Amino acid sequence: MISKQMQDKLNDQINLELYSSYIYASMAAYFDSINLDGFSSWMKAQAGEELKHAMKVFGYVCERAGRVELKAIAAPKIDWASPLAAFEDAYKHECHVSSSYHKLVDVCQSEKDFATLNFIQWFIAEQVEEEDSVLKIVEQLKIVKDAPGGLFMIDRGLAQRQG
């Protein structure tokens, strides 16, 4: 059985993952509004992945005889100054999510909850991948700056992501 403190922290993580899905869905809508379909497709796939993460934590809480308590999800931002600004926000958000998982590790260690620590290790590794993939796009967008041809090449490449 899971402790009350760990249950609460995992419920917070579920909320953060659901919020992550909202952010990426909002970014997809922004990219749709400026006719960058590849960017939008990438963000939609990311929104789906974040929802899967939330449900993975949800399932774990239930498996440990805990109680999932869903909370209100904050409304995400809806506009960005540029594709680069949107991806910079995505990168900052992924770093925030990573930090949240690191704090969960601290709680696991203090409670000697090795089962949850083992469970969370997958997310720690996943966050390394998440940060890396978003940062690479940020760096590409910095290289192309305002060159429309470069932006459209990145758009075409992002459209290739499988959901």
Annotated binding site for Fe cation: 17, 50, 53, 94, 127
d(CA 39, CA 51): 19
Collapsing DSSP to helix, strand or coil, 80 comes out as coil
Residues annotated within a binding site: 17, 50, 53, 94, 127
d(CA 97, CA 11): 14
How far, in Å, are 25, 54, 98, 132, 141 from residue 70 at the CA level? 19, 11, 21, 29, 36
